[in-house]
Structure 1
Amino acid sequence: MFQQTMKKLMAVLMVAGLVGGLAGCNTVAGAGKDIQRGGEVVEETSHDVQHGAM
């Protein structure tokens, strides 16, 4: 009885960890895209300043 309960508990914890990991990946990917876009804006502004477009 105890072993069955422990197996179920471990399965639930593993699934919870997997779901949490996937959610974390989406968060990190989103942050990466935001940072990349910020870098692109800085690059575009720098290009504009160098070429007197501002």
Structure 2
Amino acid sequence: MNSAEPTMLSALAENGYVFLKVIFDDGSIQKKMDRRYGEKIVAVEPALLPVP
């Protein structure tokens, strides 16, 4: 993944958490959010999943 910000589809703040819907995450966006905001604050939800 490049250093550009991810393409966000939607975001919802609820009960002290942020649910961030993105097109695709190979795990790198979640790691970046964990480093930036702390673990278990932002939940990254990809619309597309890798093909097994």
TM-score normalised per structure 1: 0.23
Q: Report the structure, 1 or 2, having the larger strand content.
A: 2
TM-score normalised per structure 2: 0.24
Q: Report the structure, 1 or 2, having the larger helix content.
A: 1
Per chain length, whose mean CA-contact separation is higher, i.e. which structure has more relative contact order (CA < 8 Å, sep 6+)?
2
